[in-house]
Amino acid sequence: MAEVLNKTIDEAIQGTALAPSTDDEGLLTKKFYIESYGCAMNFSDSEIVASILKEEGYAATTIMEEADLFLINTCSIREKAEQTVRNRLHIFRREKKKKAGALIGVLGCMAERLKAKLLEEEKLVDIVIGPDAYRSLPSLIKEAEGGQKGVNVLLSREETYADISPVRLDNNGVSAFVSIMRGCNNMCTFCVVPFTRGRERSRDAESILQECRTLFNEGYKEITLLGQNVDSYHFTPQHEQDQHNSVTFALLLEMVAQISPQLRVRFSTSHPKDITDEVLFTMAKYPNICKYIHLPVQSGNTAVLQRMNRTYTREWYLNKVKRIKEIMPEADISTDIIVGFCGETEEEHQDTLSLMDVCKFSLAYMYNYSERPGTLAERRYTDDVPETVKQRRLEEIIAMYRRHSLLNYQASVGQTFEVLIEATSKRSEAHWSGRNSQNKVVVFPKGSYDLDKANYVMVKITSATSGTLLGEIVSV
Ligand code: SAH
Ligand code: SF4
Ligand code: F3S
């Protein structure tokens, strides 16, 4: 998942970005401060939480000192992710002590994984609430205000928050995430997500379309449809007479793309076993569906993939990549890789390197295997690759990825792309920054054109680094 989906992944901090507000009588309302960690689903969930709190009269603040309620939306994917959260909780505690009556709430996957234990481990935490229980946040706050610590970590088979209009946080006004499903039914042996997010369920297609239309009408130009495994999206309407109208991911993608040719559509994440030709042909048919697929491989060796329970082989993955390139030669593919999974031999590691050499990923997120309590891998296998070996293998993978991404970016030099402007470049007021369909960041001089963010512009690429394309406007 792109820059933020890259947050899909990582332990980025995000404070919310809403102005303090007042209630009808002009009195200052209560304020909450929220930080989100982990994947884009978590960032998207924080926007649902913001909406639930707004109904209760809370306003968001990015300034900790102003807050009455401190929230942290947490990730459990690797041990380091949890450590980051614990470090932040120390800071929260310090702030809480400064303000009588302030509360701390832990949300998300770590709340789900540790449940009430978190209250014992992290003193001063008042509320522990799992990903499917956010509707109960107001009642837990009330209980906590009365001095009673509250936990709700019930997972649901139905909850999709379909009727809740998210309050956009971290808002560039150009691109937004829309959750289309929750949970995951795959049982990758290394992964904690099925335990923290529960069973897979698809959100009502009409509510997704409604949210996308609203975003477009508000000026957003890019939507990323989110799920742990978007290709298994499948929504069947409840009314019997509509049941033949069940919606697959390919159909949903098409319906969102049809909202307007001016609205870019992205999605994340695809599972190599599930992405279909139908999805690929739909992508090829609509110029506004971005030609970019995040297709996590995890390992290039079939035996390791089997131990991971990924349910595809090295050959299957390579064939998928070939198929994507046949149908959309211009598409870029990115990936996730885990090194040092249980029992990984040197030859198995070499297979990952050789697969990378064939696929030449434009972007890769690479991790040392981190054993997670309760996962199938923890129960079945031994985490037996020494840390030093994991680290060395990771460095080899990263070095190869860097060579490939540089080549991949350099191959764009001389080409012209349609770029959606996102913001002024962080490095220079005189430059715009945006992305092309392949999800590559493109930076170019503003010149004398009358442009603004959310505009599309044609940019010819003049040079490249391994993470950015530099270019010049050729037409607007
Ligand atoms: N649903 C997505 C992945 C979600 S987690 C998918 O199936 O592709 C994002 C990434 O974190 C995974 O792709 C994997 O590479 C990494 N990851 C998950 N569990 C991990 C673990 N225990 N140790 C290291 N990396 C892990
Ligand atoms: Fe985890 Fe696998 Fe589900 Fe992805 S598909 S969330 S890696 S169990
Ligand atoms: Fe996402 Fe981390 Fe949970 S990656 S689903 S926030 S464990």
Which ligand places an atom closest to the C-alpha of 365?
Answer: 1
Give CA separation, 290 vs 156, 222, 252, 335, 430, in Å.
32, 10, 15, 16, 27
Same domain, 354 and 246: no
- By DSSP bridging, strand 468-475 and strand 59-60 are unpaired
* Cβ(372)–Cβ(378) below 8 Å: yes
- Binned at pLDDT 50, 70 and 90, residue 23 comes out as very low
The one-letter amino acid code at 276 reads T
Same domain, 27 and 124: yes
Which pLDDT score, from 0 to 100, does residue 241 have? 66
Q: Which of 241, 268, 290 is the last residue of a domain?
A: 290
Same domain, 182 and 230: yes
Which pLDDT score, from 0 to 100, does residue 12 have? 37
Same domain, 398 and 430: no
Same domain, 277 and 404: no
Same domain, 343 and 425: no
* pTM score of the predicted model: 0.93
Same domain, 40 and 103: yes
Residues 394-404: what's their mean pLDDT?
97
Expressed in angstroms and rounded, the spacing between residue 469 Cα and the centre of ligand 2 is 32
Give the position of tokens 């050729």. Answer: 474
Whether residue 383 is predicted with pLDDT greater than 90 in this model: the reply is yes
Q: Ligand 1: which residues within 6 Å by Cβ? A: 9, 77-78, 190-191, 193, 228-229, 269, 271, 296, 298, 336, 338, 367, 369-370, 372
Residues 394-410: what's their mean pLDDT?
96
Which pLDDT score, from 0 to 100, does residue 244 have? 67
Q: pLDDT digits over 31-54, tens only?
A: 999 999 999 999 999 999 999 999
Which pLDDT score, from 0 to 100, does residue 123 have? 86
Expressed in angstroms and rounded, the spacing between residue 66 Cα and the centre of ligand 2 is 38
Which pLDDT score, from 0 to 100, does residue 242 have? 66
User: What CATH number did the domain enclosing 445 receive?
Assistant: 2.40.50.140
Spell out the residues 6+ positions from residue 293 whose beta carbon is closer than 8 angstroms to its own: 270, 275, 283, 324, 331, 332, 333, 334
Question: What per-residue string of b and e applies to 408-420 under the rule 16 or more CB within 10 Å gives b?
Answer: bbeebeeeebbbb
Which pLDDT score, from 0 to 100, does residue 293 have? 98
On whether residue 313 sits in a domain, the answer given is: no
Expressed in angstroms and rounded, the spacing between residue 77 Cα and the centre of ligand 1 is 7
Q: How far apart are CA 317 and CA 307, in angstroms?
A: 16
Residue nearest (by alpha carbon) to ligand 1 atom 4:
228
Q: Could you list the residue range(s) of the whole structural domain that residue 90 is in?
A: 4-152
- Binned at pLDDT 50, 70 and 90, residue 243 comes out as low
Q: Is residue 311 in contact with ligand 2, taking CB distance under 6 Å? A: no
Helices (H), 369-419: 376-380, 387-410
Q: Ligand 3: which residues within 6 Å by Cβ? A: 38-39, 41-42, 75-77, 108-109, 192-193, 196-197
Q: Is residue 270 in contact with ligand 2, taking CB distance under 6 Å? A: no
Residue nearest (by alpha carbon) to ligand 1 atom 3:
228
On whether residue 242 sits in a domain, the answer given is: yes
Q: Which of 268, 290, 312 is the last residue of a domain?
A: 290
User: What CATH number did the domain enclosing 388 receive?
Assistant: 3.30.750.200
On whether residue 312 sits in a domain, the answer given is: no
Which pLDDT score, from 0 to 100, does residue 457 have? 98
Question: What domain count does the chain have?
Answer: 4
On whether residue 307 sits in a domain, the answer given is: no
Q: pLDDT digits over 427-473, tens only?
A: 999 999 999 999 999 999 999 999 999 999 999 999 999 899 999 99
Per cent of the chain over pLDDT 90 is 89
* Residue, of 286 and 243, whose pLDDT is higher: 286
Same domain, 78 and 130: yes
